Amino acid sequence: MKKIAVGMVSALAVLALASSMSASASEVTQEVQADKGIKALSIISPEAFPSESEPNDTKSTANLFGVGKSGTIGKAGDVDWFKFTADITDYERVRLLVPYGSYDYDLYVYDSTGTNVIASSTGAGNADETLRFNTVDGQTYYIVVKGYSGFSPSEPYEVAFY
């Protein structure tokens, strides 16, 4: 991860910086160092997210999520499960970046039982998916990526908090 100290940064400067460093604007996060009053931009490359580990097709085999994962929908009917435990009562936002091509993947969040969908994003076609949901400190949640149509064992998706 590369960090660049800056004073005030406009949205245009962020986009230009991301472009010049081969990163998308969505890969740019802003951190505030309160003790120094300095803002720093972190450019996170897609390779920063660890890959899923198969099998993770069920709640009981779910991978730990961390801040994000990359993975593939490798065959028809493939489903990838990830889990995390909330460390605050608030809300989370999750984004699924679908690989370019004829793929339609959907994104779901299940409660701690793994049976109740509490949020979903099922846009049509090759669109990326985003969702927002409330969390309770100490509760486990499951993030699920499902292939609706199309699959590729070699074209990875990325799913992450944003």
Q: Hey, what are 112's tokens?
A: 């701690």
Categorise residue 126: left if φ over 0, alpha if ψ from -120 to 50, beta otherwise: alpha
> In this structure, which topology does domain 49-161 adopt according to CATH?
Jelly Rolls (2.60.120)
Where along the chain do its domains lie? 2-47, 49-161
Is the pTM for the entire model greater than 0.85?
no
Q: 154 Cβ partners below 8 Å, 6+ apart? A: 72
Q: Hey, what are 87's tokens?
A: 């460390």
- Going by C-alpha positions, the residue among 53, 75, 54, 79 that lies closest to residue 66 is 53
CA dihedral 116, 71, 153, 120 (to 10 degrees): 30
Would you give per-residue pLDDT tens digits along the chain (162 residues)?
333 333 333 333 333 333 333 444 334 333 333 333 433 333 344 457 899 999 999 999 999 999 999 999 999 999 999 999 999 999 999 999 999 989 999 999 999 999 999 999 999 999 999 999 999 999 999 999 999 999 999 999 999 999
Q: 34 Cβ partners below 8 Å, 6+ apart? A: none
* Residue 161, φ and ψ in degrees, nearest 5: -70, 150
Determine which helix (DSSP H) or strand (DSSP E) holds 15, and give its type and residue range. helix 11-20
